Each structure stands twice: as C-alpha cells, then as structure tokens.
Amino acid sequence: MKLEQTILKNLIYNDDYLRKVLPFVKEEYFSDNVEKIIFNEIQSFTQTYNATISPEALTLAVREKRNITDDELERSESYIAEIVKAKDETSPIQWLVDRTEKFCQEKAIYNAVLGSISILDGKDKTHDKGAIPKILSDALAVSFDNSVGHDYLKDYDSRYEFYHHKEERIPFDLDYFNKITKGGLPNKTLNIALAGTGVGKSLFMCHVAAGALVQGKNVLYITLEMAEEKIAERIDANLLNVKLDDLIDLPKDMYDRKVAKVKEKTTGNLIIKEYPTASASAIHFRTLLNELNLKRSFVPDIIFIDYLNICCSSRIKPGSNINSYTYVKAIAEELRGLAVEYNVPVVSATQTTRSGYTNSDPGLEDTSESFGLPATADFMFALISTEELDGLNQIMVKQLKNRYNDPTAYKRFALGIDRSKMKLYDVEQSAQLDIVDSGQNVVPIKGKSKFNEFKV
C-alpha cells in the first residue's frame, strides 16, 4: 500500500490521527484525481459532522457527486474497497504523523517548484516573478503545528517560566534607551524613529548599527535614500572616531590601522545594501536575506531600513488608486512580518508632517502620510531638534509608543549629538533636569529655580 493510500485509510479509521493531520493536508498534495475525490469527501464530512466517515458513507458520497466520470466512480469504489481490506493493518500513530508531515513538506516544495516554473514560462497569469520567493518560502515553512492556543489553567507552568525567561535583545550603547526598552530591542519587532528632514533619522540608525556591530552582532543596513558608500562613510566616522570632513584627508595607512582595530573588537559583520527609492519591498528584502545566507553564510541579528516611507508594498501595485494611509500601513505590516519571519528586530524611520517639522513637541498625530504606521509599530519615538538644543549639541527624544515598557517613564530625555562624527552619547544627569514631563524619579531641592529644583 502506497503512502497516499495509508494516509486516506487512517483518515477513515483513526480518529486521533485524523484530528492531528487533517488541518495540514491539502487536496493538491495528492497527484491521483481519485485520491483527491476521496480526500475531499473525507474533509467535507469531518467539517460538517465532526466525526470520522465510514467507508459506506464515503462510497455513497462519491456516488452522489455530479462532476465525476463513470471511470472515476469505478476507480474510487475499487480504491475504497482496497482500504477496507487493509483496515486491520496498523502503525504507530507518531510514525504516521511524522511520515505524513514529511509527505506534505515534499509535496508542497514540489508544487512550489512547478508553480515557479509556470510563472517563469508565462503560463501563470495571476503572479509575477516577484512572487516566486514567497511561494518557495511558504512551501519550505510547511509543518504540523498542533498548538491551538494557551490554556490559562493548564499551561501555568510554562507561563511562569516565560515570566522568568530573559528575552534576547539587542542592547543600545545609550543608557536611557536601554531603560525605556528594558535592555534593548527584542526580536520580531518593528521600531520607528519619527523626525523631520535633517534632524537625525539616518544618524540615529547609523549610530545604533555601529553599536550593534561592536557588540559582535551581524547587522544588515538597507538604504533607499543614500548610496551604500555614503552610509559606510557615516559609520566610518562613528566607529573610527574621525570627523566626516577629515575622512578624505586621512592617510591610507592610518585608515587601515583604524579599521583593523574595529575588526579586532567585533566578531560580527555589517552589510550595507542600496536599492533605488520606492523600488524595493519586503519581497526584495527576503530575496536579499536568502542570498546573503546562501552566498556568504550571513544571517543578520538586526535589520535597519532607511527608511520605511520610500519602500514599496509587495501587496499593492505601484500606481494603484489607493490612499497613503492604506499604502504606508501595508508597508509597515510587511516589514513587521519580515521581522517576525526572520526573528530579528527591524529599525526604520518616518518623516513628520509639515506642521510637525516646526513642532517642538510632536506626537503620533504628526506622523506623515499614514496613522496606520504607529498603529503597527511596536516602539516609536520622536527625535526633536531646536536651535537651543543645537547650541548645546543635544537632541531630545520623546516616547510616542512603547510595547516594551511604561511609555510615561522617561517620556522625554536628552542625548548628546556629534553630527561631525555621526555619534550619539549619554549626557550628564544635570542635562535631564530641565526637561518638563520627563517622568523620571526626582526629589525637590530647596532654593533652586523653577526648572532646576529637582535631583535624581
């Protein structure tokens, strides 16, 4: 008896097996049309009556089908008769489940390859070549997951372990960012910096990327705004501690020595990939990740995308008659899906609106193009620059949304900024004391002015 017949036999006679595998088995996994007919009738009966179907009921259901030829009917009845004869032949249920899972995985990959060839040959009119990586990725992801949710009363042990499990995070080299994120950025998250033009979105991402590299992490920096060399130049300024304007005059031997010192400090790697503006989507990023894994054995620990609004959606075609709210929200959802799929934090940025650009206290309502972006993000903060802050070489950070911690704690705080070296740094505690509504734990000091009457 071949495997397909064994699967169908146990779907009829083995209730435990039926309930474990039926949600994952699909009609297209069977190559014989008779097997498809029998499987569809088993599936339909189970969904309707929540029970296994008897061979008699199965035979009647097949006979009542209208879109079946006489030859298919005869073959179906013969097929069912063979199953009945072999009903006493049994196998361990776990072996059956494992073999069925392998069968489904192999069939899914086989069908995905055939479908991809059909797309390349132009026979598939509903998909383009950009859909091939997703089709193959979905096929490779086929598995039997029997979890149907968390049982509150039965699963309390695993819940307790979760409370005490230290979640893997990518820490910052900035103290206040570690405080508000409980130690850094967790995997499977989308993190967004909101700022106006020229305030420091790319500077922030380059600084955090450089910090992650020094920690020994693999970093992927995708740019749709600036050239790869320009991003690398900014990270050079940060890591080599050299002003941007002085990099061009740096002697080659000194440059080599400085880069060698960076290599000694880290076991990680940094890849910078440039795409034309508004031409790349999550599909392109998946393809890039797969190529990096195959060609360089590079698997990122964190991904930076500079920046979200100038990506394109993989689900909505460019030029479609769609509003910006829906389009940008679709991009955000796709990038967050990418973070979940590859188990990494994704860091990106967005622009403020025109009114938000001149606002020294921006909120979520100042997000340009789509309020669907903050609705999708896990962590979102504003970078604020004013003439007064520029004079102090500082930039202010305001929390806008935070799924990791209480967003009212350290709601606003200041960071030092060195634009010539593309660096951010922690400032002295005294610099935080003038910040109204900081949410910091402070106590009053007598005899001080209105804005300097607190100390930590």
Q: Residue 390 is part of which domain span?
A: 169-455
In the chain, how many domains are there? 2
User: 78 and 218: one domain?
Assistant: no
User: 77 and 177: one domain?
Assistant: no
Kindly state the average pLDDT of the residues 26-55: 94
User: 122 and 213: one domain?
Assistant: no
Q: Per-residue b/e over 11-40, b at no fewer than 16 CB within 10 Å?
A: bbbbeebbebbeebbeeebbeeebbbbbbe
Residue 146 pLDDT = 60
Q: Does residue 277 lie in a domain region?
A: yes
* Least reliable range by pLDDT among 151-165, 276-290, 340-354: 151-165
User: 260 and 192: one domain?
Assistant: yes
CATH number of the domain enclosing 86: 1.10.860.10
Task: Name residues whose C-beta falls within 8 Å of residue 434's C-beta, 6 or more positions apart in sequence.
Answer: 451, 452
State the pLDDT confidence band at 317, using cuts at 50, 70 and 90.
Answer: confident
User: 68 and 214: one domain?
Assistant: no
Which residue has better confidence, 128 or 330? 330
Q: What letter would DSSP give residue 454? A: E
Q: Residue 169: helix, strand or coil by DSSP?
A: strand
Residue 455 pLDDT = 32
Residue 456 has pLDDT above 70, yes or no: no
User: 114 and 175: one domain?
Assistant: no
User: 201 and 136: one domain?
Assistant: no
Residue with tokens 């910006």, as numbered in its chain: 324
pLDDT one-digit tens code per residue, 398-442: 999 999 999 988 999 999 999 999 999 999 877 777 665 555 544
For 69, the token pair is: 């030829």
Residue 452 has pLDDT above 50, yes or no: no
Residue 284 pLDDT = 94
Rounded Cα distance between 225 and 306, Å, is 7
Q: Does residue 158 lie in a domain region?
A: no
Q: Per-residue b/e over 349-362, b at no fewer than 16 CB within 10 Å?
A: bbbbeeebbebeeb
Residue 445 has pLDDT above 50, yes or no: no
State the pLDDT confidence band at 138, using cuts at 50, 70 and 90.
Answer: confident
Mean pLDDT (the chain, rounded): 89
Rounded Cα distance between 348 and 272, Å, is 14
Strand partners, 74: none
Rounded Cα distance between 420 and 244, Å, is 6
What are the DSSP calls for 370-437, one per residue?
Answer: -THHHHH-SEEEEEE--HHHHHTTEEEEEEEEESSS-TTTT-EEEEEEETTTTEEEPPPGGGGTT-TT
Residue with tokens 């604020």, as numbered in its chain: 384
State the pLDDT confidence band at 259, using cuts at 50, 70 and 90.
Answer: very high
Q: Does residue 161 lie in a domain region?
A: no
For 296, the token pair is: 């360089």
User: 131 and 266: one domain?
Assistant: no
Q: Does residue 164 lie in a domain region?
A: no
State the pLDDT confidence band at 446, using cuts at 50, 70 and 90.
Answer: very low
Residue 434 pLDDT = 65
What are the DSSP calls for 295-353, one per residue?
Answer: HH----SEEEEE-GGGS--SSS-TT-S--HHHHHHHHHHHHHHHHHHHT-EEEEEEEB-
Q: Does residue 352 lie in a domain region?
A: yes
Q: Residue 149: helix, strand or coil by DSSP?
A: coil
Q: Residue 185: helix, strand or coil by DSSP?
A: strand
Q: Does residue 150 lie in a domain region?
A: no
User: 247 and 393: one domain?
Assistant: yes
User: 236 and 130: one domain?
Assistant: no
Give the chain's radius of gyration (CA, Å). Answer: 29
Q: Per-residue b/e over 96-134, b at no fewer than 16 CB within 10 Å?
A: bbeebbebbbebbeebbeebbeebeeeeeeeeeeebbbb
State the pLDDT confidence band at 2, using cuts at 50, 70 and 90.
Answer: confident
Rounded Cα distance between 276 and 98, Å, is 45
Strands 302-306 and 345-351: parallel
Q: Within a 10 A sphere around the Cβ of 439, how many other Cβ atoms?
A: 16
Cβ 308 vs Cβ 350: under 8 Å: yes
With the C-alpha atoms ordered 327, 328, 331, 336, is the resulting torsion angle positive or negative? negative
Q: Does residue 185 lie in a domain region?
A: yes
CA distances in angstroms from 322 to 74, 157, 276, 318, 353, listed in the order given: 52, 47, 22, 9, 20
Q: Residue 36: helix, strand or coil by DSSP?
A: helix
Strand partners, 417: 424
Q: Does residue 49 lie in a domain region?
A: yes
CATH number of the domain enclosing 398: 3.40.50.300
Cβ 374 vs Cβ 400: under 8 Å: yes
Pick from 140, 160, 184: which residue ends a domain?
140
Rounded Cα distance between 2 and 99, Å, is 12
Residue 52 has pLDDT above 90, yes or no: yes
Rounded Cα distance between 383 and 265, Å, is 29
Residue 371 has pLDDT above 60, yes or no: yes
Rounded Cα distance between 199 and 394, Å, is 11
User: 276 and 388: one domain?
Assistant: yes
pLDDT one-digit tens code per residue, 89-122: 888 999 999 999 999 999 999 999 999 999 999 8
User: 396 and 444: one domain?
Assistant: yes
Task: Name residues whose C-beta falls within 8 Å of residue 437's C-beta, 6 or more positions apart in sequence.
Answer: 411, 412
